[in-house]
Structure 1
């Protein structure tokens, strides 16, 4: 690969990683602003915006959160009266997470304005551009997962 392409790829990777980290920092800043941990923020956000029942296991898988981190956040929210646990019927494993009235009130003050801001940002991009961005992001994620798995497989030897 010519040197100029190598530098371009390096610059693109640096820019992509900076954007990723800045985006994470923006959400962290909001969590701090609202006086909650990042995990509690994402629980409030997900449960407030979800149209179907959620379990800890499912949220850990879908949001790539460590189980212990999730367990701690859930326990803290239950203790604060923000969350109730219900045994999951049939096809669900674990317990269903339900916001209490106090939890819904907190989510309305935290998750709702963030979701509204995210929607406004999407509207600024336009739906076609936003869909393109998401599609490319998923393609990049799939490709990087494949390449990272190669490294992990090599190091097992």
Structure 2
């Protein structure tokens, strides 16, 4: 097994645990991501768009569009025009949507806080620093391979 495969297995185990927890809330990962993003944006007094959700959660545009359409039909969200780009819609929770999303958001935040508190500040900082370094190494090495392949010998 390569180190990338071993790394991926660790990530997949963590994701599986999180997916299992999300499904116990009665949601799919994608539905959770949309609700979480809407509530997070509201808590941070930030704007939320479908594009922002797609980019942050790596979810296809059509999937986010369909979930937003479903939530709009349920009366959970409303759309407003963006002042900067008339084609882009700002998403907002309605009162009903907020009642549904807020406990999910709070439970998720509490879970994250508990996990990382138990993991410890030092190890959390190390983990994120190492992941950032690994990401940069991946980008650098992939760029080298791509440049080499552009100029075949």
Q: Which sections of structure 1, spanning at least 5 residues, go unmatched? A: 1-6
RMSD of aligned Cα (Å): 2.6
Q: Deviations over 1:105-150 (max 9, x none)?
A: 2222322111111011111122232122112212223333454566
Q: How many residues are treated as equivalent by the alignment?
A: 147
Q: Per the alignment, in what secondary structure is the counterpart of residue 75 of structure 2? A: coil
Alignment-derived partner of residue 35 in structure 2:
44
Alignment-derived partner of residue 62 in structure 1:
56
Q: Per the alignment, in what secondary structure is the counterpart of residue 84 of structure 1? A: strand
Q: State whether residues 55 and 92 of structure 1, in contact with CA within 8 Å, keep that contact through their aligned partners in structure 2.
A: no
Separation of aligned partners in 2, 1:90 and 1:131: 36
Q: Which sections of structure 2, spanning at least 5 residues, go unmatched? A: none
Q: State whether residues 87 and 94 of structure 1, in contact with CA within 8 Å, keep that contact through their aligned partners in structure 2.
A: yes
Q: State whether residues 86 and 96 of structure 1, in contact with CA within 8 Å, keep that contact through their aligned partners in structure 2.
A: yes
Q: Deviations over 1:38-86 (max 9, x none)?
A: 1110111122223111111122122222111111111111112111111
Q: 2:109 aligns with which of 103, 111, 115?
A: 115
What TM-score do the two structures reach when normalised by structure 1?
0.78
Q: State whether residues 45 and 112 of structure 1, in contact with CA within 8 Å, keep that contact through their aligned partners in structure 2.
A: no
